[in-house]
Amino acid sequence: MKNLTYFTVFSACLALTACGGGSSGGSSDDNQPGNGGSSNVLSDGTWSAGQDAVIGLGFAGSQSAPEISVLKGTLQGPETGDLYTMLSATYPTTDLAAYHTIDMQNDILDFEDMETFSLNGSTYTVMCKEGYSTVPYDRPTLLRMFTNEDPSAFVDIDVAGTNGPINYEMRGCNSIAVRNAGGDTDSTSILVYVAGYSMEVSGSSTLMSGDRIVEVELTVDGNADVDAAGAVTASVNNIQEYFADNLSTVAVTEEGDVYFSRVRGSNNQNCLMHVNPESGSGIAVVECTDEDVFAGDVAPMRILDMVAVDGATATDFDKIYMVSNFESPGIVVSEYRTDLQTGLDMELSANSNTQNCSDVLTVGSTDDGVTLWCYDSTDSGKILEIGAP
């Protein structure tokens, strides 16, 4: 889940019949990288309205046979904990089938987001579990990684790092984004970007806490079992901290451009930010606005998920797509030229196929072009496929 806690989502769901979870040119619908249409609908036949929520959504597989994975959370009550279910469908199949469950009985910490990637013919899942900031349960956020073929074999990685002399730990997980940065079959670099609450734990006389963006570099041996000794190693790099602001979502393109949403604590401005950690060019503003673009009024934006797509060339605009909750469905689109550090305004897509999108979002390249998948705010347990506007 992206900037709502798991229990907040469920409390809102109980009042509804359905609930979800976590190119170039201008931003009008006349300039579309995809087909702009809507075709397949993926369905979860076991969905329970008011009790289930979509937590995360991921794309893997191939262009002709995309594999869509879903992380679903089921509220079982405070005594029995929560049940998390992984489901997937590989085209042409459109029925989501469960392949892994995690029973979180008596665990006060929740999984908040999920992403997938392909490596050596296998689909890998990265899940993010929130940490805790109060004694005696204080512990850092963790990333859990496994292959969809063998989810019972997994590795957990605590998200903790240094920023100069200061040691910090991530304690929240609003959003993650994953990029396969390449390498060889024995050593592939997987970059996981985490946005959420953090705490400085040592190294300064004045320890601070607040939201932060970090990059977790996982070096993965694609020929070894995930849970084998040394198969996955990790290092954590600080990108930026904004202790007075809310950082709700993060996205990364295939070329390594990172975008994240920021609500400024000083004035409630909604800002979309850009950074390329490899270039060292620093953080830039794509756009800041007082308006909640989803709702069309002046208010902080509740962005729950976000994806980003590279422009076709180095002088084209990247496209950034955002979704909010079921009360403000639709897809907001923004664009950014990295070579000029110039952004275009965030606009609500006028494409009718996007009007029911909410809560979770993923993107991939298919035979039809750049394609988005999102939760259907009007129908229980449905994932919509949409040509990217």
How confident is the model at residue 379, as a pLDDT? Answer: 74
How confident is the model at residue 46, as a pLDDT? Answer: 95
Chain centroid to CA 118:
16
In a domain, 41, yes or no: yes
Q: Which amino acid is at 376?
A: D
In a domain, 64, yes or no: yes
In a domain, 48, yes or no: yes
Joined together, the tokens standing for residue 20 give: 């979800």
Which range has the worst mean pLDDT, 38-47, 88-97, 200-209?
38-47
Global confidence as pTM: 0.90
Asked if residue 353 lies in contact with residue 368, where contact means CB atoms within 8 angstroms, the answer is no
Q: How does pLDDT run across 56-67, given as a tens digit for each residue?
A: 999 999 999 999
In a domain, 272, yes or no: yes
In a domain, 1, yes or no: no
Q: Are strands 342-348 and 331-337 parallel, antiparallel or unpaired?
A: antiparallel
How confident is the model at residue 281, as a pLDDT? Answer: 80
Q: How does pLDDT run across 154-209, given as a tens digit for each residue?
A: 999 999 999 999 999 999 999 999 999 999 989 999 999 999 999 999 999 999 99
In a domain, 253, yes or no: yes
Q: Which residues contact 203 (CB under 8 A, 6 or more apart)?
A: 162, 164, 165, 166, 167
User: What confidence category does residue 79 fall into, taking pLDDT thresholds of 50, 70 and 90?
Assistant: low
How confident is the model at residue 386, as a pLDDT? Answer: 96
pLDDT above 70 coverage of the chain, percent:
89
Count the neighbouring beta carbons within 10 Å of the beta carbon of residue 284: 14
Q: Which residues contact 150 (CB under 8 A, 6 or more apart)?
A: 225, 226
Q: What is the CATH number of the domain that holds 273?
A: 2.120.10.10
How confident is the model at residue 75, as a pLDDT? Answer: 84
For the chain, what's the residue count? 389
Mean pLDDT of 367-379: 93
Q: How does pLDDT run across 316-325, given as a tens digit for each residue?
A: 999 999 999 9
The count of domains in the chain is 1
Strand partners, 285: 273
Omega prior to 78 cis, within 30 of 0:
no
Round to whole Å and give the CA distance between 263 and 268.
6
In a domain, 280, yes or no: yes
Chain centroid to CA 33:
21
Give me the chain's average pLDDT, please: 90
Round to whole Å and give the CA distance between 226 and 247.
30
- Residue range of the domain that includes 173: 6-387
